[in-house]
Amino acid sequence: MNIQTAYKKAHHIMQYRIHREGDAPKTPSSASTPVDNWERNTLREVLLAAYKEQRRARIWRNIWRGVAVLIFLSLIFGFAEEEGKTTSIHARSEHTAVIDLTGEIGNDIDDQVQILRDSMEAAYENGNAKAIIIRANSPGGSPVVSNTAFNEVRRLKAEHKDIPVYLVAEDMCASGCYYIAAAADKIYADPSSIVGSIGVIGGGFDFTGLMDKAGVKRRLKTAGSNKGMGDPFTPETPAQTQIWETMLGDIHQEFIKAVKLGRGARLKDKQYPDVFSGRIYTGKEAKQVGLIDDFGSIYSVARDVVKAPELVNYTPQDDFSKMLSRRFGAEVKAKVKETLSEIW
């Protein structure tokens, strides 16, 4: 087949138009060979397949665009919601209100004081809540936030004396979490729960020895002899060490005073003098020391103590920004831990 014949055949195929099956050809006089019919059928099938594929891709592209628009609108409405807004509860029968206290106290993501205050006020306003259970699972955190929450719980309790407030410790209620727990009327825990840790901790690093070995000197200019106190690249003086110890001691005494105020005569600190040493206790040991009143879960307390087994959670739901911050923070912490483990 020469070049001219090939060109004519290609030109003939390109001019072919797809028509419906059964349509008569426009030029019946033009004879077609079996080879021409095969080429036409093949080209038609290829073009039809390409058309169907493009149509299918266009349909799915429109579907995913719609999904993206819905997600975008949901995010917009989520950010537009008033932060800290408490869900309105309309429980018409007698029930036990549940408020969750989880995570690090004062973690810059959750405002535990606002959560406790708003949730307790919503439970009081309902009128059908026979008691409030604070479900605690926290390792502690900021002493300032803990003290503020302690005072707010006690204030609301004084305003609504007919509705008791109980705290149920799940896996852990230690340090700042127990600071808040001391404000409850009674504290319950599992025998295997971790409770206590009534102490204060503060620390950092001292890189001065490493700097001396590396031949690096710190140039720090301050106005005030203790302005650079706590700087890891500056040696700590004995006077500054005393300041730190005094400060931690004062915070510790506030912690002890709150626990004694909340627990009263139930606390056996005379019999167990190390209760304020910062040590932790299991739930079984905590009951002996007087840190908790009895064993129980939110279900057993609601059923056997409150006599209202129906549980209604008054904790505000997280908005998208909080969930994103919590997820991002968890991923960063995991990455840092992985990196440090590789280094050490």
Q: Is pLDDT at 28 greater than 60 in this prediction?
A: no
- Kindly state the average pLDDT of the residues 262-286: 93
Closest CA to 85 of 313, 323, 315, 312: 315
Higher local confidence (pLDDT), 114 or 232: 114
At 33, the pLDDT band (50, 70, 90 cuts) reads low
At 34, the pLDDT band (50, 70, 90 cuts) reads low
Computed over every residue of the chain, the mean pLDDT equals 81
* pLDDT value for 61: 86
Q: Is pLDDT at 128 greater than 50 in this prediction?
A: yes
- Kindly state the average pLDDT of the residues 213-233: 81
Q: Is pLDDT at 78 greater than 70 in this prediction?
A: no
- Kindly state the average pLDDT of the residues 206-226: 81
Task: Spell 121-155 as b/e; 16+ CB within 10 A means b.
Answer: ebbbebebbbbbbbbbbbbbbbbebbbbbbebbbe
175 is catalytic: yes
Minimum mean pLDDT range among 58-62, 257-261, 297-301: 58-62
Q: Is pLDDT at 238 greater than 70 in this prediction?
A: yes
Minimum mean pLDDT range among 32-36, 77-81, 258-262: 77-81
* pLDDT value for 216: 83
- Kindly state the average pLDDT of the residues 238-252: 90
Q: Which fold has domain 95-218+232-343?
A: 2-enoyl-CoA Hydratase; Chain A, domain 1 (3.90.226)
State the catalytic residue, choosing from 138, 142, 175, 193: 175
Q: Would you tell me the crossing angle of helices 34-80 and 320-343 to the nearest 10 degrees?
A: 100
277 is catalytic: no
Rounded to whole angstroms, the Cα distance separating 276 from 257 reads 11
Q: How far is CA 236 from CA 3, 218, 225, 241, 251, in A?
A: 93, 13, 11, 7, 21
At 36, the pLDDT band (50, 70, 90 cuts) reads low
State the catalytic residue, choosing from 8, 52, 227, 257: 227
Higher local confidence (pLDDT), 167 or 25: 167
